[in-house]
Structure 1
Amino acid sequence: MAAVPIPLAVRPALLLGVPNQITLVRTVIAMVIAAIAFRTHDLTWLILGYATYWLGDMADGAVARRRNEESEGGAVFDIVCDRACSFLLAAAFMAAFPETIGPLAVFLVQFGVLDTMLSLSFLLWRGTLSPNYFYKVDDPIYLWNWSKPAKAVNTAAVVISLVIAHHTGAQWLPYTVAIGALVVKVVSSYRLVAILRGRTPAAPRG
């Protein structure tokens, strides 16, 4: 039986593409660093792991846009790799500093469940290559979740608040940030479901 040809539109999503190679490499490096942090309980390794994850995440998207190689498959691969990095780094954080278990548990619920559902919802609308273009579907959900400020707050603010709490003892801070991010995801999920059920009209950017 002859092999089924791969459509040209799908080929950029393969691991042979440069953006996805970057995603793969940055994920492997970040997870290796997370494993080292897990073993050493060293905050420096944790910070290095998050820096690798974040810088790599920015790099693969920038390269994909510059090379015009954005694709649905690449976006899904990026979303999955983000969760892999976040979960292992969070586990290392909790193992090294047990006081972070509470706020990180809240973060993992919103990022691992609600944010994953929201991030994959772009697949429901043909032609929306990734969550970065969700403003074409609904601008409020995009602004709350994938605008640059929203992305920074979603993960970076939680981690930075954990580091601050570690040095100052202000354990209320990471809880406040994590719960705030959870509220945003709950509101966004409610709006998404309302749009899908026809109860709320979508508001694409004009």
Structure 2
Amino acid sequence: MMATVPVPLPVRPALLLGVPNRITLIRTVLAMVIAAVAFRTGALSWLIVGYAAYWIGDIADGAVARYRDEESEGGAVFDIVCDRACSFLLAAAFMATFPLTIGPLAIFLVQFGVLDTMLSLAFLLWRGTLSPNYFYKVDYPIWLWNWSKPAKAVNTAAVVVSLVIAHQTGAQWLPYTMAIAACVVKIASSYRLIAILRGRRAAVPRV
């Protein structure tokens, strides 16, 4: 009996090699190089520049993809993977330079690397949902908590900004509070997603 050869999904090669994905690649390499410099120098200024490169590039690649009508599932997955690469290396540089950040960043990395990754990739379970940005078509509450503009800003930036504030003021409780709050949101979102997938809760789409 001959094995069935998997058939690839139809894709437009131009989307995989398009401008948005090039921006994603460039901003990822740039942020990771700057993170390596931060490791080497132990300077907070390099960490801030690295996060700025990551965030500005992350905004730019999505905006360009929408403007050029080049959004795709592959591009969304590439963006999600690159976000983790940037976040983990920058967080590692932060922890190596400032040991007091290890606790809150460890909490952040657990939720971002595990829970948020699972949530971000869940759009692939619904055909026609090009990226997490359109998850409101599946379930509005999960989208609101995770991928609305305020949620995106809070997801990573709030923890990092609170770390800088704590470094300047000594308020070490602040980054712990922000990291735990983000973790609670991801746990609640994951619970809701699993309940929807198992048919225990009805999704609330918004078109």
**TM-score between the two structures when normalised by the length of structure 1:** 0.95
The equivalent of 1:187 in structure 2 is 188
The equivalent of 1:49 in structure 2 is 50
Name the CA distance, whole Å, in 2 between partners of 1:199 and 1:151.
Answer: 27
What is the CA deviation profile of residues 109-137 of structure 1, one whole-angstrom value per residue up to 9, with x for unaligned ones?
00000000000000000000000000000
What secondary structure sits across from 2:130 in the alignment? coil
The equivalent of 1:61 in structure 2 is 62
- Are residue 138 (structure 1) and residue 139 (structure 2) matched? yes
What is the CA deviation profile of residues 136-179 of structure 1, one whole-angstrom value per residue up to 9, with x for unaligned ones?
00000000000000001010000000000000000000000000
The equivalent of 1:173 in structure 2 is 174
Name the CA distance, whole Å, in 2 between partners of 1:54 and 1:110.
Answer: 18
Superposed displacement of residue 10, structure 1: 3.4
1:191-202 equivalences under 5 Å are 191-202=192-203
The equivalent of 1:10 in structure 2 is 12
Cα gap change, 1:6/1:192 in structure 2, threshold over 3 Å: closer, same or farther?
closer
1:1-206 equivalences under 5 Å are 7=10, 9-14=11-16, 16-206=17-207
Instruction: Give the percent of matched residue pairs that are identical in Structure 1 and Structure 2.
Output: 82
**TM-score between the two structures when normalised by the length of structure 2:** 0.95
What secondary structure sits across from 2:70 in the alignment? coil
Superposed displacement of residue 39, structure 1: 1.0
What secondary structure sits across from 2:136 in the alignment? helix
Name the CA distance, whole Å, in 2 between partners of 1:56 and 1:180.
Answer: 26
Residue type of the alignment partner of 1:11: P
List alignment gaps of at least 5 residues for structure 2.
Answer: 1-6
Name the CA distance, whole Å, in 2 between partners of 1:109 and 1:184.
Answer: 13
What is the CA deviation profile of residues 60-104 of structure 1, one whole-angstrom value per residue up to 9, with x for unaligned ones?
000000000000000000000000000000000000000000000
The equivalent of 2:4 in structure 1 is none
What secondary structure sits across from 1:68 in the alignment? coil
In 2, are the aligned partners of 1:10 and 1:73 still within 8 Å (CA)? no
Structure 1 consecutive aligned stretches of length 4 or more whose deviation exceeds 6 Å = none
Name the CA distance, whole Å, in 1 between partners of 2:14 and 2:58.
Answer: 17
Cα gap change, 1:12/1:199 in structure 2, threshold over 3 Å: closer, same or farther?
farther
Name the CA distance, whole Å, in 2 between partners of 1:154 and 1:124.
Answer: 23
Name the CA distance, whole Å, in 2 between partners of 1:108 and 1:145.
Answer: 16
Name the CA distance, whole Å, in 1 between partners of 2:206 and 2:64.
Answer: 25
What secondary structure sits across from 2:69 in the alignment? coil
Aligned-residue CA RMSD (Å): 1.3
